[in-house]
Amino acid sequence: MGFKENLKSELIYTGMLVKELSAKTGISKHTLDNYLNTHNSLPNAEGAVKIARALGVTVEYLVTGQEKRQETTVVSLPPDIRLLVNIAEKLSAKNRRLAIKLIRVLWEQEDAALPLGAV
């Protein structure tokens, strides 16, 4: 995969919208849309670094897809969490966003149910 596909994949993985990436990087939404939709549109080195940092990956990963994530790899996660990740990877982008929203709601409900001082 190339830069465009890796960028799309990372946006889906993180659940980040293009406008959120734009705000984090200072790169216009229009420019980011060009990277995502135009065949040969690539950022300069500075832009690639900003995008990679905002997504928590390396520039090499965005360009080649070959390097591992900077964060904890899926392999080190408990089996139930790996199962969630494996299922999520098979969902459409729309359903992944929905699943992320659902998980956030569940997490917020659990967090709100904790007694004061428990966190």
| Structural domains of the chain ordered from first start | 3-64 (1.10.260.40), 74-113 (no CATH)
pLDDT at 68: 55
Instruction: Provide the mean pLDDT of the chain.
Output: 83
More confident residue, 28 or 112: 28
Q: pLDDT for 51-105, tens place per residue?
A: 999 998 889 888 888 765 545 444 566 778 878 888 888 888 889 889 989 988 8
Q: pLDDT for 26-46, tens place per residue?
A: 999 999 999 999 877 899 999
Entry pTM? 0.57
Residue whose pair of structure tokens reads 């360009």 in the numeric block: 63
Give the C-alpha distances (Å, rounded to integers) separating 105 from 56, 75, 90, 113.
24, 26, 21, 12
